[in-house]
């Protein structure tokens, strides 16, 4: 997860390679952990004769729940995962919503930054979306052939992150392309999830025949 963060900000790593070894608990990216952890899980399953498709299905809902819990920490600590400036007045139909859930300045954040203007509290929105997605995944966990549930998780996770990137603070280009790195990975996850559902469903159908 940390290595992925430094690959994203590669110029900083080139200027100061030792930054990779400082403060091992900062700069831990979700997608880096997902990719690295996924490879590790598949290796472990293969080595121990565990059905890797079922293992992925077990992990899908849990990872979505874990993501939501992690974003709670992001919001409460103010670690910089917030959104872009939000100077728009809160609509009247959202009067029931606390002001800090519409725009927030993250006072006393862990970086010691003073935000000139309030921003979208995107971690809070991700907590809500992650918990909803977890609930959906948990409710359908026994309805599909092995492998499909994880693919559905992939689609939901990709859609959630792609949408939140529209109001999240991030470089708006990746390798010269007018997308954030997270948006590109999110789109890849959605496509891979759809392809996986087709693949696993086809395998199960062929076996039943």
Task: Give 45-80 pLDDT, tens digit per residue.
Answer: 888 888 888 888 998 999 999 999 989 998 999 888
Q: Is the residue at 174 inside a domain?
A: yes
Q: Is the residue at 29 inside a domain?
A: no
- Residue 14's pLDDT is 65
Q: Is the residue at 39 inside a domain?
A: no
- Residue 127's pLDDT is 96
Instruction: Give φ, ψ of 177 to 5 degrees.
Output: -100, 140
What radius of gyration do the chain's Cα atoms show? 19
| Percent of the chain residues past pLDDT 70, beyond the cut | 80
CB contact at 8 A, 60 and 37: no
Q: Is the residue at 61 inside a domain?
A: yes
DSSP letter for 39, please: H
> H-type helices in the chain, by residue range?
2-8, 10-15, 30-47, 52-77, 99-102, 122-139, 148-164, 181-208
Q: Dihedral (C-alpha) 7, 12, 14, 16: value to the nearest 10 degrees?
A: -120
Q: Is the residue at 180 inside a domain?
A: yes
| Percent of the chain residues past pLDDT 90, beyond the cut | 47
Mean pLDDT rounded to a whole number for the chain: 84
Position 153 pLDDT exceeds 90: yes
- Residue 94's pLDDT is 92
Q: Is the residue at 155 inside a domain?
A: yes
Who wins on pLDDT, 47 or 181? 47
Half-sphere exposure of 17 (CA within 13 A, CB side): 0
Instruction: Give φ, ψ of 99 to 5 degrees.
Output: -55, -35
Q: Is the residue at 168 inside a domain?
A: yes
Instruction: Give φ, ψ of 85 to 5 degrees.
Output: -60, 140
Q: Is the residue at 104 inside a domain?
A: no
- Between CA 4 and CA 10 the distance in angstroms is 9
Which of 36, 57, 33 lies closest to 146, judged by CA?
Answer: 57
Domain count, the chain: 1
* Average pLDDT of span 91-116: 92
pTM for this model (two decimals): 0.79
- Between CA 35 and CA 157 the distance in angstroms is 13
- Residue range(s) defining the domain that contains residue 190: 51-80+121-208
Listed range (17-31, 49-63, 165-179) with the worst mean pLDDT: 17-31
Angstrom distances, CA of residue 77 to CA of 92, 103, 109: 29, 16, 6
């Amino acid at each position: 997860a940390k290595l992925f963060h430094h690959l994203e900000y590669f110029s900083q790593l080139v200027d100061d390679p030792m930054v990779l070894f400082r403060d091992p608990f900062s700069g831990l990216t979700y997608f880096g952990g997902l990719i690295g952890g996924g490879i590790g899980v598949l290796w472990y399953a293969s080595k121990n004769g565990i059905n890797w498709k079922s293992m992925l299905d077990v992990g899908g809902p849990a990872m979505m729940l874990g993501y939501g819990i992690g974003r709670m920490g992001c919001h409460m600590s103010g670690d910089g995962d917030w959104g872009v400036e939000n100077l728009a007045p809160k609509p009247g139909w959202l009067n029931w919503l606390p002001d800090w859930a519409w725009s927030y300045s993250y006072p006393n954040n862990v970086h010691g930054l003073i935000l000139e203007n309030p921003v979208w509290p995107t971690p809070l929105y991700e907590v809500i979306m992650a918990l909803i997605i977890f609930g959906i995944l948990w409710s359908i966990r026994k309805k599909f052939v092995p492998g499909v549930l994880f693919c559905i998780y992939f689609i939901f996770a990709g859609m959630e992150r792609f949408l939140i990137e529209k109001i999240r603070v991030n470089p708006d280009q990746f390798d010269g392309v007018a997308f954030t790195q997270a948006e590109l990975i999110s789109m890849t996850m959605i496509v891979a999830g759809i392809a996986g559902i087709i693949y696993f469903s086809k395998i199960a159908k062929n076996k039943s025949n």
